[in-house]
């Protein structure tokens, strides 16, 4: 069974959208007066002024790789970040640690680690899933490049951006 819904009758001003238009113009006029009188600053002068001081603690920026305080790689090439990445922006090629190495128990290291920053959606899943705390999201919102190739960050670039992170690294823990 069909229900008939009656529509309200609109006045001539409502048909011409005048009330909505006047409300929008009123908001614009209010902002204009606030800016002219100096009560409110709307525009940030970007290169000179940055949002760094105003970023919330939960801000998710660009993913980077970090090393421990001894300069060793934290990443064990487990590929969890690659598997969980929704846009498939992370590519890892694992390599085996040489036979005579003290850290042979780790089994793998990232021979190649790339993040395509054009594809990355900054979701933070890679940081959450990393068992070795090797990947971190830095507080950066100005990620630029002049070509697509510049926007694919390789392992060296990621370590350069990430730096050093102190604290327990499970990969180098003798008791593990």
- Maximum separation of any 2 CA atoms in the chain, in Å: 88
Classified as helix, coil or strand, 108 is strand
Q: Which residues of the chain have pLDDT under 50?
A: 176
Residues 6+ apart with CB under 8 A from 41: 35
Choosing among 3.30.930.10, 3.40.50.720, 3.40.30.10, 3.30.70.3270, the CATH entry for 54-172 is 3.30.70.3270
Spatial contact of 75 and 81, defined as CB atoms under 8 Å apart: no
What would the two tokens of residue 31 be? 């902002």
Domain boundaries along the sequence of the chain: 11-43, 54-172
**Could you read off the pLDDT of 98-134 as tens digits, one per residue?**
888 777 776 788 999 999 999 999 999 999 999 888 9
pTM of structure: 0.69
CA–centroid distance for 130 within its chain = 16
């Amino acid at each position: 069974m069909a229900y008939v819904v009656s529509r309200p009758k609109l006045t001539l001003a409502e048909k011409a959208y005048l009330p909505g238009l006047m409300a929008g113009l009123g908001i614009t006029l209010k902002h204009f007066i606030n800016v002219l009188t100096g009560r409110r600053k709307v525009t940030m002068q970007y290169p000179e002024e940055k949002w760094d001081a105003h970023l919330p603690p939960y801000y998710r920026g660009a993913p980077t790789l970090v090393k421990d305080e001894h300069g060793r790689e934290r990443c064990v090439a487990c590929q969890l970040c690659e598997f969980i990445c929704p846009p498939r922006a992370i590519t890892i090629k694992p390599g085996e640690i040489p036979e005579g190495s003290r850290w042979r128990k780790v089994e793998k290291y990232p021979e190649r680690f790339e993040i395509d920053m054009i594809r990355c959606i900054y979701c933070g899943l890679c940081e959450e899933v990393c068992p070795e705390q090797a990947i971190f999201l830095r507080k950066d919102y100005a990620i630029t490049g002049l070509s697509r190739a510049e926007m694919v960050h390789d392992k060296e670039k990621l370590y350069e951006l990430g730096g050093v992170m102190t604290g327990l690294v499970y990969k180098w823990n003798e008791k593990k």
